[in-house]
Chains A and B, each alone.
Chain A
Amino acid sequence: MFRDLAKMGAYLGQAARMMVGVPDYDTYVQHTRLMHPDRTPMTYEEFFRERQEARFGGAVGKCC
């Protein structure tokens, strides 16, 4: 029961972060390790900054 709740919390947290343009960090690390073993994955702080810049750096604004 508690495990289910924790799972749901993690899921909702992931959904909330995705709403503001930050994808799941663990997935990113796992993907980099698996697919690009030559690269060192960014730390969470670097990852977060990179995502923040990417979200507001482009020419697409917010919707009306």
Chain B
Amino acid sequence: MNSTLSRLGWGVLAVIGAFCLGYVALNHGETINALWIVVAAVSIYLVAYRYYGLYIANKVLGVDATRMTPAVKYNDGLDYVPTDKYVLFGHHFAAIAGAGPLVGPVLAAQMGYFPGMLWIISGVVLAGAVQDFMVLFISTRREGRSLGDLIKSELGTIPGMIALFGAFLIMVIILAVLALIVVKALADSPWGTFTVAATIPIAILMGIYMRYIRPGRIGEISIVGFFLLIGAILLGGKVAADPVMAAWFTFDGKQLTWMLIIYGFIASVLPVWLLLAPRDYLSTFLKIGTICGLAIGIVFVAPQLQMPGITKFVDGTGPAWSGNLFPFLFITIACGAVSGFHALISSGTTPKMLANENQAAFIGYGGMLMESFVAIMALVAASVIDPGVYFAMNSPAAIIGKEAVDVAAKISEWGFVITPDVLLQTAQDVGEKTIISRAGGAPTLAVGMAHIISNALGGKAMMAFWYHFAILFEALFILTAVDAGTRAGRFMLQDLLGAFIPSFKRTEKMAPTLIATALCVIAWGYILYQGVVDPLGGINTLWPLFGVANQMLAAVALTMCTVVLFKMKRERYAWVTILPTVWLLICTLTAGWQKIFHVKPSIGFLANAAKFSAAADRGEILAPAKSAAQMQQVIFNNYLDAALCGLFMLVVISILVFGIRACMKAYAEARPTSKESVYEKLPDNAAA
């Protein structure tokens, strides 16, 4: 009786989800309420978790609640700790959530909310959550080892090295793109620059407090830090209003780039307790708080979506990023649908704290569903603002011009009618000089969030506050990621270089540390600089490169999962990972190929290089170059991007070949050959 009732309940939920999705699909002509999207997404997530997530757990993987987990076996109260599943869910979610799921959907909104929404929901259910969950499970069964180690042991040493090298390159691209988002948000914005700069002394103060004054008391000082941040935002408004002080904090993109590069270098060689750790605490709590606040805001305000469901830019002529819906939409929304980077987190700290295998689905699959929900909220935030404002913010100046009058005329021409007054008024509402050509997602999201939150709290008068709150919130965890990422990149590099020059592995030595850090910073700094001077806005070039790299890492992780299924002799279920792997390979290889060879200079790197070469031969100078030498630089950069893209494709194809070989070999064997740790029974008192 009970089970019939419960099935009925799930059935009703499924019908609600399908109905909302149908409503969204059929109402393209008129504006609809954001809640239709939210309810559709949440119902589908719940049903997917109950029926697909648990199917993978019980049938595909065969999780065993009686099996020993590393947390219990190696329990040391530090790295290995059996942890309450809700607490661990929080830990895992805080580790995977970042800027990615916020930015991708905002950019994708140029095609309308509907295609993005479909990909976010279907991608997470069939690919992203599957990857996170299975990697978590596989790592748990192997003493909580890392992705690189897992690939080494299941596929071989060479593919393991290739994957590590790929992960390092991806890290560099991620850091450059994240830093670019900050530059785009802070350029010519004294208010934003002041508040973000203020986080440095605030974090140092917190660091000293937690080290010497009241060691380890995170809670109290984080609350103080939070109020100082709010104070910094309020003070930022005063700074921006004062012409003298505003000048001190007004920088263009290039200046900010240099500041970020120098900052990145210094921050990542300082002791962690001084700057990195306290800011990480602050940004983690702020992130979780803001995500909850945004969710409550959307439900409470129930805003109408202004963006059409599908815009005419599905044909690939959009201004924010170039390329057709297939494959580029699936590259643009990376995190939130599927993110290869999560494979590193799922094989990081989480598997060492899993109390019981039967909680892996809740944490791995469920955690990713939550991240996907964040992506849905970002999509909603980008779609509640006037489409004219959206396109003014996300189109490069080379296409729409710089003056509000020209911009409004150009965008109205595209069919998104807007007056120059609205653009100026919006800028004034959020306390900025201009909102034109602020690509990169963060400012658009901030306007959307300010729109939603100020409707709930404070009204229009508070809009500027909420805008800068949102900018600060993103900049805070991006800077943390840049700092931690540079550090991690340095360790990876020292490890890789150490294979050739053994003395490089000495992470405690000064010289190798400084050299490896400098190499890391130069690598992402170079790409960042190139993005900042790009006439098409940088995001246009770099975001797809990041998306391709991230999705390829996911394909690598899913290939590893497929190999493990074959080795477990569970190949009859291998479609669960083969399906998303094949889809990701189709998308990323097509996108990679087009980024290199497409005839349109706005898409293909080689075509763009050829365009500049031809102009240089004629003695012409094309923007952004100002001299013949800079023309050569642009040409070189395009070849560099093409080479990077080609390298990513080589990495993924070679892993695929190794993967297929490993699968065939495992298939021919009569017995399971996977290298999981030997079965031990979980002690009875440890049962969760």
Contacts and interface: CB of A to CB of B under 8 A. Distances in A.
B594 to A, nearest CB: 22
Contact of A63 (B77, B345, B495): B345
B96 A18 contact: no
B87 A53 contact: no
Contacts of A29: 77
Nearest to A63: B98
A14 B334 CA distance: 31
A18 B174 CA distance: 25
Interface in A16-64: 16-24, 27-29, 31-32, 35, 44-45, 47-64
Contacts of A50: 78
Interface in B511-556: 546, 550
B172 to A, nearest CB: 11
Given A13-B219, A15-B90, A63-B95, A35 B174 contact: no
Interface string B74-100: 011111010110111011001111111
A62 to B, nearest CB: 4
Contacts of B218: 16-17, 20, 22
A49 B273 contact: yes
Contacts of A18: 83, 87-88, 90-91
Contact of A15 (B87, B96, B174, B495): B87
B77 A61 contact: no
Contacts of A61: 171, 481, 484-485, 487-489
Interface residues of B, number: 61
B94 A54 contact: no
B487 A56 contact: yes
Contacts of B288: 19
Contacts of B91: 15, 18-19, 21
B339 A63 contact: yes
Contacts of B272: 52-53, 55-57
Nearest to B102: A64
A1 B173 CA distance: 52
A63 to B, nearest CB: 5
Given A21-B349, A55-B277, A56-B272, A64 B216 contact: no
Interface in B478-495: 480-481, 484-485, 487-489, 491-492, 495
Given A19-B284, A64-B98, A59 B86 contact: no
B74 to A, nearest CB: 11
A45 B217 CA distance: 9
B495 A59 contact: yes
Contact of A59 (B87, B481, B492): B492
B342 interface: yes
Contacts of B76: 31
B311 interface: no
Interface in B243-295: 272-273, 276-277, 280-281, 284-285, 288
Contacts of A22: 216, 218
A23 B77 contact: yes
A44 B484 contact: no
B78 A60 contact: no
B477 interface: yes
A46 B492 CA distance: 27
B500 to A, nearest CB: 18
B390 interface: no
Contacts of B216: 22, 44-45, 47-49
Contacts of B99: 64
B519 to A, nearest CB: 15
B333 to A, nearest CB: 12
A60 B345 contact: yes
A32 B80 CA distance: 13
A55 B546 CA distance: 25
A59 B550 CA distance: 17
B90 A19 contact: yes
Contacts of A16: 90, 218-219, 285
A62 B477 contact: yes
User: B88, B216, B284, B485 — which one has the most chain A CB atoms within 10 A of its CB?
Assistant: B216
Contacts of B387: none
13 contacts: A13-B219, A15-B91, A21-B349, A23-B77, A45-B216, A48-B215, A58-B488, A59-B492, A62-B481, A63-B95, A63-B341, A64-B99, A64-B546
Given A28-B78, A49-B273, A64-B481, 20 more contacts: A13-B219, A14-B87, A15-B90, A16-B218, A19-B284, A20-B218, A20-B284, A22-B218, A51-B78, A52-B277, A56-B276, A56-B484, A61-B489, A62-B480, A63-B100, A63-B342, A63-B345, A63-B481, A64-B546, A64-B550
Interface of B: 75-79, 81, 83-84, 86-88, 90-91, 94-100, 146, 171, 174, 178, 210, 215-216, 218-219, 272-273, 276-277, 280-281, 284-285, 288, 334-335, 339, 341-342, 344-345, 348-349, 353, 477, 480-481, 484-485, 487-489, 491-492, 495, 546, 550
Top-3 shortest CB links A-B:
A28-B77, A48-B216, A61-B488
